[in-house]
Structure 1
Amino acid sequence: MAHIPATVVTYPDGEVTGTATVVHTVPLADGRIGVIVDRTPFHPVDTAWPDQPADVGFFRTADGDLTVVDTRTGGVHEGDLFVGDDLPVRMGTEGWTFVVVHIVDGSAPAVGERVEAYVDAGLRAALSAGHTACHLASLALDAALADAWTKVVPTDAAGHPAFDMLAIQTSLITEYGSTDVYRVGKSLRKKGFDPTALADLGEVEERANTTLAEWSGTTGAIGIHRDDQTLAGRRSWRCDLPGGRVELPCGGTHLTSLADIAEITIALESSEVPGGIELAMTTSIRLTR
């Protein structure tokens, strides 16, 4: 296999179009083709934490438009390419080169060909809104449950006990929203969380939604900070809340200002599971335009 460079990604800057050069193509088991370009605006699914769905769109090639039906993370090690769920290591593992693999229907473009990349901008905008809402909701939930702890535990970006970080099981970004599932079991209780704090979910919802209302529509900037332009480079989400800047690791896409948010609300639902409680938080966001 010829040398494949690490993919430069432009989606952290909000890009949805761009010009790129094809550096590698690979046939996949499902009969589709994986296309790797030198730089891309397409956001791939992260194999370690697949919360934000992949971008879709198309490549404009010399032979016509080529639909991108999925976008996955890939890794190259000692000449072998691993794609998606077959990738055996976490992003950033030393000795690996990480790339964005665009899954296309149709014939593969030629290596060396220049193509125009177009992301589905409507879907990207909806997922970016949902991802921003997810982060803000987690911070608001942490604040709403701040008095539920009897021991000192790690804190979140806003300085509250990090219920979200300590209890999260799964997170799924959706169009204009998200669903997060938490586990409150023996481990969390040993850390000092009092599950009776969840006895009145309506009260917890009200506290979190009041905080979210205080943040929505303010002038705070939202953005992604990064020191490295490649896919494996560390990135963090920054948001200027009324109480100060918060920052947390994130590889997704986002809104650019709290001013774009008309309303964010959460809804909580709990269920008994073996050994504890499962708490689901559904978040919805409505934009000003």
Structure 2
Amino acid sequence: MTLPTTDTVVLYPAGSTRNGAVVLHLETVADGSLAVILDETACHPVDAGWPDQGSDRAVLVTSSGREIAVTEAVVAATDGETLFIGTDVPVRKGEEGWTFVVAHLVAPDAALAERDEVTVVVDEQYRNALSIGHTACHLASLALNRAVADRWTKDVRADGLGAPDFDAAAIASSLIRENGSTDVFRLNKSLRRKGFTTDGLSEELSAIEAATSATLAAWISEDAPVHIDVSGPGLTDRRSWVADLAEASVSIPCGGTHVSALSELGSLAVSLELSDVDGTPTLTMLTDAAG
């Protein structure tokens, strides 16, 4: 069967952890794994373009009941002739003439065939832990933006709640963990030229941490609903995380998975740490849900 010409239909934005699917394409990739391309999937893949949330844990169940472990689900793309996996994808999403798909990597001896019908079954407990971590990450970024708002001396782009968007301006990396996240911000010359002052930051770090935590506690107490807005069912269709806080509904572009209400986070603990990485001042924020 030829390579797909339409994006994989993804079901995880709505919280799905199980679906029936048809095998569209099979291909052995560089590491020897077998890439399984399905017409649709509930399995969240890691995206090499911004690998904040990793792959779901999942199995493909054949019509005979045999379970095939998915070692990793990865965003892949094809120009109709070649399948590119993960970091080898040479274009951005939406590039004309390209199709983006979820490659389910399995053992080379999986004994699947194109047109086979399978059931995708995602580990619900692990998915929920990552969803908690991802919602916590977005909420903490908004709370941190508010806590450091008075450190800006110039006008910069605001976040969805009107605070200067420190997260967008300074983020270097974000890692979604089970029930938490690790976010690293560069406090470099470029950020300071934009108007962010780092003078006295070390002395005020505890106060900023406390202010961030207090904002988070207030928001979680509201038990605001959370959902994913989608522009379409395909892998490259735009998706946004939306939280309907009492003060305003706020959205952040996001391709990950999330809880359905802030109360599912329990309580959040935030810790901030300053360090130096190759001569660049760096702020690390650890956010963890107590459940």
TM-score for both structures, normalised by structure 2: 0.95
1:57 counterpart residue number: 58
- 2:188 counterpart of 1:182: no
- d(CA) in 2 for partners of 1:81, 1:30: 14
1:21 counterpart residue number: 22
Cα distance, 1:99 vs. partner?
A: 0.3
- d(CA) in 2 for partners of 1:58, 1:8: 18
1:244 counterpart residue number: 248
Q: How many residue pairs are counted as aligned between the two chains?
A: 287
Quote the sequence identity (%). 45
- 1:195 aligned counterpart, secondary structure: coil
Is the Cα contact below 8 Å between 1:186 and 1:275 reproduced in 2? no
- d(CA) in 2 for partners of 1:108, 1:30: 17
1:228 counterpart residue number: 232
- d(CA) in 1 for partners of 2:196, 2:228: 32
Is the Cα contact below 8 Å between 1:153 and 1:161 reproduced in 2? yes
- d(CA) in 2 for partners of 1:285, 1:216: 11
Cα distance, 1:261 vs. partner?
A: 2.6
Q: Aligned partner of 1:66: which letter?
A: I
2:68 counterpart residue number: 66
Structure having the larger proportion of residues in strand: 1
2:209 counterpart residue number: 205
Is the Cα contact below 8 Å between 2:132 and 2:264 reproduced in 1? no
Distance 1:255 1:264, change over 3 A: same
Cα distance, 1:265 vs. partner?
A: 1.9
Q: Deviations over 1:168-196 (max 9, x none)?
A: 00000000000000000110111000102
2:122 counterpart residue number: 119
2:48 counterpart residue number: 47
Q: Deviations over 1:90-119 (max 9, x none)?
A: 222222100000011232411111111101
- 2:211 aligned counterpart, secondary structure: helix
- 2:6 counterpart of 1:2: no
Distance 1:218 1:197, change over 3 A: farther
Is the Cα contact below 8 Å between 1:261 and 1:285 reproduced in 2? yes
Task: Please list, as runs of the form range in 1=range in 2, the aligned pairs for 1:47-196 lying within 5 A after superposition.
Answer: 47-63=48-64, 64-105=66-107, 106-196=109-199
- 1:215 aligned counterpart, secondary structure: helix
- d(CA) in 2 for partners of 1:30, 1:276: 36
- d(CA) in 1 for partners of 2:143, 2:217: 10
Q: Please, which moves more after superposition, 245-254 or 79-88?
A: 79-88
- 1:216 aligned counterpart, secondary structure: helix
Q: Deviations over 1:32-54 (max 9, x none)?
A: 11100000000001121100010
Q: Which ranges of structure 1 fall in alignment gaps of 5 or more residues?
A: none
Q: Please, which moves more after superposition, 129-138 or 272-281?
A: 272-281
Distance 1:7 1:197, change over 3 A: farther
Q: Runs in 1 of length 4+ with deviation above 6 angstroms?
A: none
Q: Please, which moves more after superposition, 101-110 or 171-180?
A: 101-110
Distance 1:214 1:102, change over 3 A: same
Is the Cα contact below 8 Å between 1:130 and 1:284 reproduced in 2? yes
Q: Which ranges of structure 2 fall in alignment gaps of 5 or more residues?
A: none
Q: Aligned partner of 2:50: which letter?
A: W
Cα distance, 1:29 vs. partner?
A: 1.9
Cα distance, 1:274 vs. partner?
A: 4.8
Q: Please, which moves more after superposition, 175-184 or 218-227?
A: 218-227
- d(CA) in 2 for partners of 1:274, 1:252: 31
Q: Deviations over 1:14-66 (max 9, x none)?
A: 00000000000111222211100000000001121100010121011135111
- d(CA) in 1 for partners of 2:50, 2:42: 20
TM-score for both structures, normalised by structure 1: 0.96
